[in-house]
């Protein structure tokens, strides 16, 4: 193409930026090993994220090699063909260059033979690189049940050789257990094999652009004096999907919406909304404050929980007829500290609802002395839309244009699609894998943080498992159980009727 630039030149130009941004001065060859390489998570998330890092120059063909490991009987080209199906639209030359970085090794997850073969393949690449430093990153795109055996195999056969400087790091996916005891057992098993600084417990919500913005928003602006019980009435953190379990019923039924979404994704957002200002931006200082706010959460009251299960959920043949697993939950958390005493945090998540979105909704208290008599129109709200149509907007009362002194609710709006039209918003997995390469654990879950999170929800989960709390039915395509709206109203949330936020467009 005349006047254009080649893929390699584009990557080289962006690479100067990537090196300026890199948090680690370590150099040397990098081996990224994806275990469970033939599974859906690896094909849909891990490998596409690695491709985008390659495309932007954050990983280079002369410095990195990618190894897939799974039980499937595949060749290198077989895995490459599977991956390429999830990279539609990538330039052919660039895609080919990326795929050539990938090798495949077949083996089981609980025997040494396959891992010895994997280590030999990695070592051959490292030796050919003539580098002084060897870095090995293992991504476990696997069910948690095999983490202990796989980590033992990595520890025994695949660690970075002591003869060369560098590191070995392991990314593990959620769910990290099903309750406090199982999470602690898993943490102990992995803790016997790796130091905490080698383990990266990934929660992809922490990699989302708007979640990443929460720290900047709170602590780089003069919002902090308003961000407390004196001004804020309640905070909602909401996750809604407009589809059901769709073939995942058997898997989902083992966990339910609280374990699947609320205890991890929404609780991570809660930490960033509610935590105190850290001493610095060092990862450990940020994670210290997240642990503190989790430890300040009061026990959940049964009367401040609503569980739902959509009609038709049990039609899935993999779901037991007597299942009490919630596909919807609304849970009120209360923080016992000076900033948040008396402010309810409503964490709400559900499937088969009437819309798809994830957002934080901070509702301020009523304006005292309402001289415009506009209280009925609704309160000021600060909304952070995490997905889709990423945005931040403030719901404010303004004068309606015209000769009359009439008011209405409108918004002060930062819509990312409008403000950053030519900026690619990275996928969460891209950011988190890059953070792992850099050794930045800020956006990963620390062991004591994981324990504090499970301590909050384990009593509630056991009550659900024991049938002490029942899920009420709700219609697919609805807002969920009416009891959830009643709970929100009871703890102070005032719904604005007649106002709908419409994402701005260029049209």
Question: Which residue carries 């997240």 as its tokens?
Answer: 290
User: Where does residue 80 rank: exposed (0-12), middle (13-18), buried (19+ CB within 10 A)?
Assistant: buried
Q: What span, in angstroms and rounded, lies between the C-alpha atoms of 478 and 14?
A: 46
End-to-end CA distance of the chain: 31
Q: What span, in angstroms and rounded, lies between the C-alpha atoms of 386 and 209?
A: 8
Task: State the DSSP code for 427.
Answer: P
Q: What span, in angstroms and rounded, lies between the C-alpha atoms of 102 and 337?
A: 51
Q: How do strand 344-350 and strand 232-240 relate by DSSP bridges?
A: parallel
Q: Which residues contact 281 (CB under 8 A, 6 or more apart)?
A: 215, 442
Q: Which residues contact 220 (CB under 8 A, 6 or more apart)?
A: none
Q: What span, in angstroms and rounded, lies between the C-alpha atoms of 267 and 269?
A: 5
Q: Where are the beta strands (DSSP E) in 460-503?
A: 472-474
Active-site residue flag, 265: yes
Given 52, 65, 204, 265, the catalytic residue: 265
User: Where does residue 314 rank: exposed (0-12), middle (13-18), buried (19+ CB within 10 A)?
Assistant: middle
Q: What span, in angstroms and rounded, lies between the C-alpha atoms of 475 and 469?
A: 20
Instruction: Looking at 230-282, list the stretches that DSSP marks H as alpha helix, in order from N- to C-terminal side.
Output: 249-253, 256-257, 267-274
Asked if 182 and 147 count as a contact pair (C-beta separation under 8 A), the reply is: no
Q: Which residues contact 80 (CB under 8 A, 6 or more apart)?
A: 99, 102
Residue 46 CA, chain-centre distance (Å), reads 14
Task: State the DSSP code for 91.
Answer: -
Q: What tokens appear for 69 in the block? A: 């490991």
Q: What span, in angstroms and rounded, lies between the C-alpha atoms of 236 and 357?
A: 13
For the annotated catalytic residues, the residue numbers are 265
């Amino acid at each position: 193409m005349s006047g254009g630039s080649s893929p390699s030149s584009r990557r080289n130009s962006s690479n100067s930026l990537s090196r300026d941004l890199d948090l680690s001065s370590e150099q040397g060859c990098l081996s990224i090993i994806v275990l469970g390489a033939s599974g859906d998570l690896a094909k849909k998330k891990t490998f596409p994220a690695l491709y985008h890092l390659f495309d932007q120059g954050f990983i280079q063909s002369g410095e990195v090699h990618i190894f897939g490991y799974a039980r499937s009987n595949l060749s290198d080209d077989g895995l490459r063909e599977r991956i390429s199906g999830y990279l539609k639209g990538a330039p052919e030359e660039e895609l080919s260059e990326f795929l050539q970085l990938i090798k495949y090794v077949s083996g089981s997850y609980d025997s040494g033979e396959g891992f010895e073969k994997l280590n030999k393949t990695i070592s051959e690449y490292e030796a050919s690189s003539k580098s002084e430093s060897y870095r090995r990153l293992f991504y476990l795109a696997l069910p948690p049940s095999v983490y202990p055996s796989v980590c033992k195999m990595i520890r025994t056969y695949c660690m970075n050789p002591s003869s060369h400087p560098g590191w070995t790091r392991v990314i593990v996916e959620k769910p990290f257990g099903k309750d406090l005891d199982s999470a602690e057992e898993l943490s102990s098993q992995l803790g016997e094999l790796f130091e905490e600084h080698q383990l990266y417990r990934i929660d992809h919500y922490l990699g989302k652009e708007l979640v990443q913005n929460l720290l900047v928003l709170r602590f780089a602006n003069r919002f902090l004096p308003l961000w407390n019980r004196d001004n804020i009435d309640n905070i909602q953190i909401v996750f809604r999907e407009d589809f059901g379990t769709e073939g995942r019923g058997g898997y989902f039924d083992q966990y339910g919406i609280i374990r699947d979404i609320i205890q991890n994704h929404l609780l991570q957002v809660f930490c960033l909304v509610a935590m105190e200002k850290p001493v610095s931006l060092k990862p450990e200082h940020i994670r210290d404050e997240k642990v503190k706010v989790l430890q300040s959460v009061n026990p959940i009251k049964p009367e401040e929980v609503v569980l739902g299960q959509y009609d038709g959920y049990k039609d899935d043949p993999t779901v037991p007829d007597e299942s009490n697993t919630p596909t919807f939950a609304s849970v009120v958390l209360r923080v016992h500290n000076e900033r948040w005493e008396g402010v309810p945090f409503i964490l709400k998540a559900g499937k088969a609802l009437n819309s798809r979105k994830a957002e934080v909704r901070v509702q301020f208290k009523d304006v005292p002395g309402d001289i415009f008599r506009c209280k009925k129109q609704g309160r000021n709200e600060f909304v952070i839309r995490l997905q889709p149509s990423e945005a931040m907007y403030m719901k404010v009362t303004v004068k309606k244009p015209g000769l009359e002194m009439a008011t209405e609710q409108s918004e002060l709006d930062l819509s990312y699609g409008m403000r950053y039209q030519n900026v690619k918003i990275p996928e969460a997995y891209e950011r988190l894998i890059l953070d792992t390469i850099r050794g930045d654990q800020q956006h990963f879950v620390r062991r004591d943080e994981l324990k504090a999170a499970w301590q909050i929800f384990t009593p509630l989960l056991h009550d659900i498992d024991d049938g002490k709390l029942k899920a009420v039915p709700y219609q697919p395509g609805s807002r969920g159980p009416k009891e959830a709206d009643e709970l929100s109203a009871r703890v102070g949330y005032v719904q604005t009727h007649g106002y709908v936020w419409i994402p701005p467009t260029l049209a």
